[in-house]
Amino acid sequence: MAAMTKEDKKNAEKLGFGAGDLVVYPTHGVGKIMAVENQEIAGHSLNVFVVLFDKDRMTLRVPVAKAKNSGLRRLSTRKEMETALTKLKGRSRAKRTMWSRRAQEYEAKINSGDPASIAEVVRDLFRNAGQPEQSYSERQIYQAALDRLVREFAAVEKIDEDTAVKRVEQMLSAA
């Protein structure tokens, strides 16, 4: 491994990320930066954030130079998370378009990494007792959105994921 240049260190510091920080990668959710390393890739020296996604048993290497463009960001603030969670209390805005089109829109919202957009998907696909049964794909998308929202909520509030799930489901049931 080559040593980090001053410029690479400056870029990493400018982004404000360091080893041990919890971050959100749009398409994977909450991860932890394990290190900032310089790696030799195809003959080029590249400085990368090594991000571990414990839940998925996955490690992602994000080039420092492309971190901002890739959407890598800090955890939401409490205020941002509260704003997102208030979306759970609104009425479902599920459109009457074809399911395949709505499914694509939901997937795009989940992969945006924006907690408010993810909360909208959770709200729109949540089913209370007494409501019609969901299709398999609806349940899959709902579960993916719920998992993504709950992981960040749990990290922001410093609570375990089970407690976070219960709190989110209480908000949905009360809506």
How far is the C-alpha of 28 from the C-alpha of 118, rounded, in Å? 13
The series of mean pLDDT values per 10 residues for the chain, 175 residues long, is 52 72 93 92 88 90 90 93 91 83 95 95 83 86 96 95 94 83
Is 99 within a domain? yes
Domain limits for position 15: 6-74
pLDDT at 112: 94
Q: Are residues 89 and 55 both part of a single domain?
A: no
Place of tokens 């049931």: 173
Closest CA to 74 of 33, 102, 103: 33
Residue 55 CB contacts under 8 Å (≥ 6 apart), including other chains: 29, 151
| pTM confidence score | 0.85
Q: Are residues 32 and 10 both part of a single domain?
A: yes
Closest CA to 92 of 141, 66, 125, 67: 125
pLDDT at 92: 81
Q: Are residues 50 and 104 both part of a single domain?
A: no
Beta strands in the chain (DSSP E): 22-25, 29-41, 44-53, 58-63, 73-74
pLDDT at 1: 44
Residue type present at position 42? A
Q: Are residues 161 and 83 both part of a single domain?
A: yes
pLDDT at 2: 45
